[in-house]
Amino acid sequence: MAIAVVGSLGLDTIETPAGRVEEVLGGSAAYFSLAARHFLPVSLVAVVGTDFPEEARRTLEHPEVDLSGLEIRSGKTFRWEGVYSEDMNTRETLRTELNVFETFRPKLHEGIRSFRNVFLANIDPVLQREVLDQLARPRLVLCDTMNYWIHSKRGELLETLKRVRILLINEEEARELTGESLTHRAARAILSLGPETVVIKQGEHGAFLQGRELYFTCPAFPIESVIDPTGAGDTFAGGFFGALARMSRLTDRTLRAAVVYGCVMASFTVEDFGVGGLLRAKRQEILRRAEEIMEMTRFSLNDTPRILR
Amino acid sequence: MAIAVVGSLGLDTIETPAGRVEEVLGGSAAYFSLAARHFLPVSLVAVVGTDFPEEARRTLEHPEVDLSGLEIRSGKTFRWEGVYSEDMNTRETLRTELNVFETFRPKLHEGIRSFRNVFLANIDPVLQREVLDQLARPRLVLCDTMNYWIHSKRGELLETLKRVRILLINEEEARELTGESLTHRAARAILSLGPETVVIKQGEHGAFLQGRELYFTCPAFPIESVIDPTGAGDTFAGGFFGALARMSRLTDRTLRAAVVYGCVMASFTVEDFGVGGLLRAKRQEILRRAEEIMEMTRFSLNDTPRILR
């Protein structure tokens, strides 16, 4: 019942209005694993160079995070540097050094090939399919992507989407992928591309899920001060997929709750640089935030017959 | 228990990706009244010129909309022309002719001075205070404003806010008013300026309400095709204030439901040009959309103890 994640690990240099950090642990597989482990064991498939710091590796080490699929290649680790705007809603990439990630061809070892739950983080859609080809009987495939692949490998991405059960994508990318300017129409258009469910990440506005017969919205958990939004989307994926896979069945009820846990987990990540906030997430606080989201969204329509003329 | 609204009436020329209309009935008082009338009688205080078309007046005529406070002045009616961007999230004003609205000094007749519920639509904050000065015992004062007043009459606006119970403002304006870049922090900062409650309009992302001890979020009702967003904010105000005033007491329960009705009413407006969609709103469909918002937002955390490690 564990989850395999295939994605990136890297060293991020991040500048936000709140400060700057250099070469901290980053990458989609890091955020995803450190969030999903609260729900299920995670096996990580990624590549780093021989310069990957011992401290970064120790950060990932956890009883619920299996690093046996972590490949260490001769060369340098993937590096990314970015700077966020004053309101943190946009960011500029200053530097991307793919290094060993450039020739990453995920090879799943025997133990992972039998996994039923897999998260294909934002990598080349051709590689995402290569991962699927190695899985014996994938049951729940969650896939992320980004505008770069939408524009440069659209055909390959569409091929991959045919084999994906749930697509996770942000609002702007959903519009770019489908050409629909209304986000919920874009979400529905995605359902005709293969996925039976799509989750649209809306940053500070939360997320919504569109299924064939389900539309569920969830606000972001309100954070006192946002320090660094890097990794919030992959953390959402970890909370969402972790909770969903743990509940085993995909029903209206489990999908709704999974979106809430996605929003809750993402709220920890934005509270500090890198994975710092996520590392401090504790069971009690996860539960408290989920309950607070319920409190933020519940209402009653009992008065309606009386007030509506 | 009726509501007085003091705002603008005008003739709008609107171009959106869906088409173009010329000189249709518009203005904050029109949208507000046509939404609020579903909950309570509304008395409208506004000014038009002698050229105000008979058809526009007939559109406003309704058993629940009192036009005795509508001043007809020698001169031309307020006109506005704007064009929306492809995604309708931004618009450009091509023309504003204030005409008789330029020298509008709202005079409340005796019948309206005793009103307890008043909506101060987006007009000069000095005029908003002049309205308050004419009211005998205002109980529930809802106020709207815009970036123009935030920048050009900040001091006057702050004076007005001291006398306002609920401020209605959009996301960007809340940030500009307070200097806070996180919207929910901006909302809390507004509570120190006078209002005990603030409602932040977020367009296609819905709205949220921040009170001293209440934080409630509500998604926008998803519309099949957005034709014209003009007036959505004032329509929200009409649904919100209509429902709230009708329920009489300000409690967590009534405030939450009022935000939902605000979102529901706004969804009718964006479905057609001008007030066309709003005019077609019927009791049954209002109720259905409110119930659908409940369906879109409800979830259960019953699984939590079992799934969280």
Handedness of CA A169, A173, A174, A178 (dihedral sign): negative
Which residue on chain B is closest to A246 by alpha carbon?
B307
Per the listing, tokens 């490690």 go with B309
CB of A267 closer than 8 Å to CB of A289: yes
Amino acid found at A199: V
Pairwise CA distance, residues A146 & A287, whole Å: 30
Does this model's pTM top 0.80? My answer is yes
Using the CB atoms, write b or e for B19-29: b if 16+ within 10 Å.
Answer: eebebbbbbbb
Q: What is the pLDDT of residue B1?
A: 80
**pLDDT greater than 90 at residue A1:** no
Mean pLDDT across B224-239: 96
**pLDDT greater than 90 at residue A191:** yes
A253 vs B300: CB contact, 8 Å cut-off?
yes
Of B65, B217, B227, B254, which to mutate for an interface test with A (greatest number of A Cβ within 10 Å)? B217
Contacting residues of B for A205, CB less than 8 Å apart: 202, 205
Which residue on chain A is closest to B286 by alpha carbon?
A308
Q: What is the pLDDT of residue A89?
A: 84
**pLDDT greater than 90 at residue B89:** no
A309 vs B37: CB contact, 8 Å cut-off?
yes
Mean pLDDT across B221-250: 96
CB of A202 closer than 8 Å to CB of B205: yes
Mean pLDDT across A90-110: 95
Pairwise CA distance, residues B108 & B114, whole Å: 10
For the segment B1-56, what is each residue's pLDDT rounded down to a tens digit? 899 999 999 999 999 999 999 999 999 999 999 999 999 999 999 999 999 999 99
CB of B207 closer than 8 Å to CB of B168: no
A–B CB contacts, 8 A cutoff, strictly below = 140
Number of other residues whose CB lies within 10 A of the CB of residue B63: 8
Q: What is the pLDDT of residue B178?
A: 97
Number of other residues whose CB lies within 10 A of the CB of residue A307: 21
Give the closest of B217, B246, B309 to A307, CB-based.
B246
Mean pLDDT of chain B: 96
Between β-strands A42-49 and A65-66, what pairing exists: parallel, antiparallel or unpaired? parallel
Pairwise CA distance, residues B13 & B79, whole Å: 8
Q: Which residues is B303 bridged to in the sheet?
A: none
Pairwise CA distance, residues A199 & A180, whole Å: 16
Q: What is the pLDDT of residue A141?
A: 98
For the segment A142-162, what is each residue's pLDDT rounded down to a tens digit? 999 999 999 999 999 999 999
Tokens, residue A183: 């986000």
Tokens, residue B107: 């005079």
Give the closest of A205, A246, A303 to B307, CB-based.
A246
What is the distance, to the nearest Å, from the Cα of residue B223 to the centroid of all Cα atoms in its chain?
A: 19
B304 vs A294: CB contact, 8 Å cut-off?
no
**DSSP secondary-structure letter at A227?**
-
For the segment A247-292, what is each residue's pLDDT rounded down to a tens digit? 989 999 999 999 999 999 999 999 999 999 999 999 999 999 999 9
A166 φ/ψ angles, rounded to the nearest 5 degrees? -135, 125
Q: What is the pLDDT of residue A303?
A: 84
Mean pLDDT across B90-100: 95
Pairwise CA distance, residues A242 & B307, whole Å: 9
* Closest-CA distance of chain A to residue B308, Å: 5
**Whats the size of chain A, residue-wise?**
309
CB of B26 closer than 8 Å to CB of B60: no
Query: How distant, in Å, are the alpha carbons of A119, B161, B195, B210 from that of A201?
Result: 16, 35, 32, 23
Instruction: Identify the CA nearest to B120 among candidates B46, B40, B201.
Output: B46
Terminal Cα-to-Cα distance of chain B (whole angstroms): 53
Pairwise CA distance, residues A286 & B136, whole Å: 50
Number of other residues whose CB lies within 10 A of the CB of residue B307: 21
* Closest-CA distance of chain B to residue A123, Å: 28
**Whats the size of chain B, residue-wise?**
309
**pLDDT greater than 90 at residue B287:** yes
B253 vs A300: CB contact, 8 Å cut-off?
yes
Q: Does domain B3-298 have CATH number 3.40.1190.20?
A: yes
A290 vs B309: CB contact, 8 Å cut-off?
no
For the segment A175-185, what is each residue's pLDDT rounded down to a tens digit? 999 999 899 99
Which H helix or E strand runs over B270? none
Q: What is the pLDDT of residue B303?
A: 84
The vertex-A243 CA angle with A241 and A247, nearest 5°, equals 110
A304 vs B290: CB contact, 8 Å cut-off?
yes
For the segment B62-84, what is each residue's pLDDT rounded down to a tens digit? 999 999 999 999 999 999 999 99
Mean pLDDT across A25-46: 98
Q: What is the pLDDT of residue A110?
A: 95
Pairwise CA distance, residues B23 & B171, whole Å: 29
Q: What is the pLDDT of residue B141?
A: 98
**pLDDT greater than 90 at residue B306:** no
| pLDDT confidence tier of residue A87, bands split at 50, 70 and 90 | confident
Q: Is A82 helix (H, G, I), strand (E, B) or coil?
A: strand
Query: How distant, in Å, are the alpha carbons of B123, B127, B243, B287 from that of B5?
Result: 11, 13, 15, 24
* Closest-CA distance of chain B to residue A143, Å: 22
B259 contacts: CB under 8 Å, gap ≥ 6: A299, B199, B207, B208, B209, B216, B218, B240
* Closest-CA distance of chain A to residue B218, Å: 7
Tokens, residue B106: 């709202």
Dihedral-angle region of residue A248 (phi above 0 means left; psi in -120 to 50 means alpha; beta otherwise): left
Give the closest of A40, A215, A243 to B296, CB-based.
A215
Q: What is the pLDDT of residue A309?
A: 79
Q: What is the pLDDT of residue B87?
A: 84
Q: What is the pLDDT of residue A271?
A: 98
**pLDDT greater than 90 at residue B167:** yes
Pairwise CA distance, residues B33 & A173, whole Å: 38
| pLDDT confidence tier of residue B307, bands split at 50, 70 and 90 | confident
Tokens, residue A200: 């649209």
Instruction: Identify the CA nearest to B5 among candidates B65, B77, B54.
Output: B65
Q: What is the pLDDT of residue B2?
A: 95
Amino acid found at A306: R
Pairwise CA distance, residues B215 & B191, whole Å: 12
Of A1, A90, A217, which to mutate for an interface test with B (greatest number of B Cβ within 10 Å)? A217
**pLDDT greater than 90 at residue A92:** yes
Mean pLDDT of chain A: 96
Q: Is B213 helix (H, G, I), strand (E, B) or coil?
A: coil
Q: What is the pLDDT of residue B270?
A: 98
